[in-house]
Homo-oligomer: A and B are copies of this chain.
Amino acid sequence: MQNIKQQWVDYIHSLQNNICAALEEADGKATFVEDEWARPEGGGGKTRVIANGNVFEKGGVNTSAVSGVVTDAMRAQLKLPNEFATQNLSWFACGLSLVLHPMNPFVPTVHCNYRMFELYNETGDVIDRWFGGGTDLTPYYLMDEDAVHFHQTYKDVCDGFDSSFYPSFKKHCDDYFINYHRNNERRGIGGIFYDYQRPSETKDVNFWMNFGMACGDAFTKAYIPIVNARKTIPYTDAHKHWQEIRRGRYTEFNLVHDRGTLFGLKTNGRIESILMSLPPTVRFEYNYQPVPGSEEDKLLQACLHTREWLA
């Protein structure tokens, strides 16, 4: 089974290359700069950031392949079965994580993450393995056709594997990216999200790996056409102002609620790679409310009330 791990690691790195190339082409000016880092406990990553482009004001496309021994904190976090309580376990995780913050408020922010996690016993056998991932869109101005295109792209991928996936993973995404402290306002208009998917009799490890790869490959199809359609729309200071207000909500979600961010901050993760997700410029204004019925309010309402974009 060693080749499963290698196959996934190789895929993640090729996905990083492909996505960076596609984003650089869409940007037309800025290029990614890579920071390769090592983790003292094992493994490392490649953080690739882009800044001050024609399209992307700030973004990162990061990969990591890290490993270590299972600590008590991880045991609790992972809710490991009691049978493993006395064993010296080790783990491996590999994934890609990206966030892009465009300059133009008509181009949505996007986030995606695809990962595999393996757990080993003392003799190095894989005793557990799961896959997780998702892609979600955060527009500042709602264009229904962009939301439909984005969701349709992932529904098509999902339907090729199991027709129950899209409804389930779409709901999981809507239920995850919530600013609970803001009257359950969503961060954006969602996408798909799945986690802790373990190989089973009917869906083996190759099924889940192929599903993760198909989702990863779909990213450029889902996002780049939206970028190209919107990147030249003229915008005013007022549009930018609203974008920065909404980026405040993005910041609030990532720092207050996002499990991955908080886990990284509390476990000595590489801080600059984790907080790469935060927007470049942000505004927090006291009790800012968009004018009812305005384009800004239309976006806010879509964040307050989830929709079935493909109904």
Interface string of A132-144 (1 = CB under 8 A from B): 0000000000000
Interface residues of A in 259-311 (CB under 8 A from B): 262, 265-266, 271-272, 275-276, 278-287
Q: How large is the interface on A (under 10, 10 to 19, 20 to 34, 35 or more residues)?
A: 20 to 34
Q: Does A35 contact B (CB under 8 A)?
A: yes
A residues sitting closer than 8 Å to B (CB atoms) are 35, 49, 51, 58, 60, 180-182, 244, 248, 251-252, 255-256, 262, 265-266, 271-272, 275-276, 278-287
Residues of B within 8 A of A284 (CB): 58, 251, 275, 278-280, 282
A209 to chain B, nearest CB (A): 31
Residues of B within 8 A of A281 (CB): 244, 281-283
- Asked if B255 contacts A181 (CB within 8 A), the reply is no
- Asked if A286 contacts B282 (CB within 8 A), the reply is no
Residue on B nearest A265 in the bound complex, by CB? B181
Partner of A286, one of B252, B255, B272: B272
A220 to chain B, nearest CB (A): 22
Partner of A282, one of B181, B271, B282: B282
